């Protein structure tokens, strides 16, 4: 077979999509970024991934790897390069129900994982949207609806099947490739292409779910109170706050999830939130966990949501930080602020146990702008409260650079990540900043 790339390895025949193919329009982009790659390879196996890597090296093409398509940085597509699309690799298998060990291929979406595990009364905390791909999340962190109860997704990854940039296929686990397992749990994008994960799930069917709304005072006092409530909350409770403004009035929409189906447990977990001044309940119910990441989320990614996003981590929300948050959402240029509660099980591991070292923080803060407001507006808003945060989470950064790297992987963690990226990807094929 010959394409505009020249002769194609026989094993990839029929799996290469180029411009002019009817499928190209649905495969060229991510959720946030329109791309124009020379070709998209629809890999169906680790052998296909290895062949695609060889093709990229031989043709000296820029390379992108896509397991989902929500990636804010747009790094899962490119212009004039090669995209390895893993969406055909989406099997989900329960390997051992007794130990709750499941195998999930990297191209599955989290809605599909939740649906597959539900008949077994199992769940994995895995982000907050069903259309997010497994691979991109499970190699970076995974701050989901159950993060305070379960921990990060990477905390329960027990093994990863990886194709290294030279095409070698490796199983990384604690016994055979502990260094590779370490870096794949938090900084996998620069070491290899994960094609499957073995993950320890939890017993879970139904959860408590509540949507609350809170009018925020000008000084952000009840944002501070929310932070204090969550710092003392039972691990079963995880919340996410969407902070916007109605004119000059900041408003917080709060989603609360309790990892229990017992009404008394749910009520007890939610009551301290309900005691915050200015808060009201919009709805509360018990529902199956898959309803939080439903198949309705599954949609094509066609660059439909361009955005600029950055993030940081709070050890706590003090008065100055709360005021800065209010200022950011009520400024001249609209900025969307999200606050996601951490702590609990997310802080159980030692900082050096994985390549995600931020194990003392209580809150992730994410700031985003949307057209017509751009990067400048985001920078202005972020500048107001950047002094109050430290650290970063790589999956919520639309313009990653070496500064982002230093925030996400500080100190000894960053040094080890760089060393391992260089060991497993000496030419920097997967991550150019690995050479820096």
- pLDDT tens digits for range 161-220: 999 999 999 999 999 999 999 999 999 999 999 999 999 999 999 999 999 999 999 999
Residue 435 above 80 pLDDT? no
Reduced to 3 states (helix: H, G, I; strand: E, B; else coil), residue 223 is helix
Residue-level pLDDT at 188: 97
Q: Supply the Cα-derived Rg of the chain in whole angstroms.
A: 21
Angstrom distance (rounded) from CA 241 to CA 365: 9
Residue-level pLDDT at 74: 86
- pLDDT tens digits for range 374-386: 999 999 989 888 8
DSSP-assigned beta bridge partners for residue 85:
42, 66
- Using H for helix, E for strand and C for coil, what is the string for 7-55? ECCHHHCCCEECCCCCCHHHHCCCCCCCCECCEEEECCCHHHHHHHHHH
Q: What value, to the nearest 5°, has the Cα angle with vertex 165 and ends 33 and 63?
A: 25
Angstrom distance (rounded) from CA 73 to CA 60: 22
Residue-level pLDDT at 434: 35
Mean pLDDT of 241-259: 93
Say how many C-beta atoms besides its own lie within 10 A of residue 327's C-beta.
Answer: 16
| E strand or H helix at 421 | helix 411-424
Residue-level pLDDT at 3: 56
Q: Tell me the C-alpha to C-alpha distance, in Å, between residue 391 and each of 122, 156, 388, 420.
A: 32, 22, 11, 21
- pLDDT tens digits for range 278-304: 999 899 999 999 999 999 999 999 999
Angstrom distance (rounded) from CA 312 to CA 127: 17
Dihedral sign, Cα of residue 392, residue 304, residue 242, residue 212: negative
Sheet holding 157-163, edge to edge: 92-96, 101-105, 193-200, 157-163, 169-173
Q: Tell me the C-alpha to C-alpha distance, in Å, between residue 246 and each of 235, 367, 413, 416.
A: 32, 17, 41, 45
Which tokens go with 52? 């695609």
Domains of the chain (ranges, CATH numbers): 6-85 (3.30.43.10), 92-204+412-429 (3.30.465.10)
Chain centroid offset of residue 321 CA: 24
Exposed e or buried b for every residue in 203-238, given b needs 16+ CB within 10 A? ebebbbbbebebebbeebbbbbbbbebbbebebbbb
pLDDT confidence bin for 433, thresholds 50/70/90: very low
Angstrom distance (rounded) from CA 79 to CA 415: 31
Angstrom distance (rounded) from CA 226 to CA 366: 16
Nearest by Cα to 39 from 74, 68, 3, 2: 3
Answer whether 308's CB lies under 8 Å from 378's CB. yes
Q: Which residue has the tokens 């931020």?
A: 358
Residue-level pLDDT at 358: 98
Q: Mean pLDDT across the chain, nearest whole number?
A: 94
Answer whether 425's CB lies under 8 Å from 192's CB. yes
Q: Tell me the C-alpha to C-alpha distance, in Å, between residue 106 and each of 1, 49, 86, 89, 194.
A: 28, 12, 7, 7, 6
pTM: 0.95
- pLDDT tens digits for range 102-149: 999 999 999 999 999 999 999 999 989 999 999 999 999 999 999 999
Residue 239 above 90 pLDDT? yes
Answer whether 250's CB lies under 8 Å from 352's CB. no
Q: Which of 65-79, 190-204, 261-275, 341-355 has the lowest mean pLDDT?
A: 65-79
């Amino acid at each position: 077979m010959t394409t505009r790339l020249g002769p194609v390895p026989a094993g990839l025949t029929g799996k290469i999509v180029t411009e002019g193919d009817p499928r190209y329009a649905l495969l060229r982009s991510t959720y946030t970024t329109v791309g124009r790659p020379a070709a998209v390879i629809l890999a169906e196996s680790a052998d296909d991934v290895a062949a695609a890597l060889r093709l990229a090296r031989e043709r000296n093409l820029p390379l992108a790897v896509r397991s989902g398509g929500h990636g804010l940085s747009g790094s899962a597509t490119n212009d004039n390069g090669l995209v390895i699309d893993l969406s055909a690799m989406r099997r989900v298998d329960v390997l051992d129900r007794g130990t709750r060990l499941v195998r999930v291929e990297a191209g599955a979406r989290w809605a599909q994982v939740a649906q597959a595990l539900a008949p077994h009364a199992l769940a994995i905390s895995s982000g907050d949207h069903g259309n997010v791909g497994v691979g991109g999340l499970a190699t970076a962190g995974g701050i989901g609806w159950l993060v305070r109860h379960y921990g990060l997704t990477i905390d329960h990854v027990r093994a990863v099947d990886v194709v290294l940039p030279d095409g070698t296929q490796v199983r990384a686990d604690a016994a055979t490739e502990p260094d590779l397992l370490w870096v794949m749990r938090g900084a996998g994008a620069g070491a290899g292409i994960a094609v499957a994960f073995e993950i320890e799930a939890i017993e879970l069917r139904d959860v408590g779910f509540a949507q609350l709304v809170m009018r925020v005072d000008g000084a952000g006092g009840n944002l501070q109170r929310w932070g204090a409530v969550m710092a003392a909350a039972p691990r079963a409770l995880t919340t996410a706050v969407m902070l916007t403004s109605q004119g000059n009035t900041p408003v917080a929409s709060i989603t609360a999830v309790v990892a229990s189906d017992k009404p008394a447990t749910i009520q007890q977990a939610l009551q301290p939130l309900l005691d915050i001044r200015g808060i009201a309940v919009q709805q509360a119910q018990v529902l199956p966990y898959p309803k939080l990441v439903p198949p309705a989320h599954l949609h094509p990614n066609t660059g439909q949501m361009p955005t600029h996003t950055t993030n940081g981590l709070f050890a706590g929300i003090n008065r100055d930080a709360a005021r800065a948050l209010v200022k950011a959402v009520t400024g001249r240029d609209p900025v969307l602020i999200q606050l996601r509660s951490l702590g609990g099980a997310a802080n159980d591991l030692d900082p050096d146990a994985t390549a995600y070292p931020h194990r003392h923080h209580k809150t992730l803060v994410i700031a985003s702008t949307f057209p017509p407001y751009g990067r400048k507006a985001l920078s202005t808003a972020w500048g107001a409260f950047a002094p109050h945060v430290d650290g970063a989470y790589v999956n919520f950064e639309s313009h990653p650079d070496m500064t982002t790297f230093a925030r996400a992987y500080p100190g000894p963690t960053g040094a080890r990540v760089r060393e391992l990226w260089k060991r497993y990807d000496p030419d920097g094929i997967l991550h150019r900043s690995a050479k820096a």
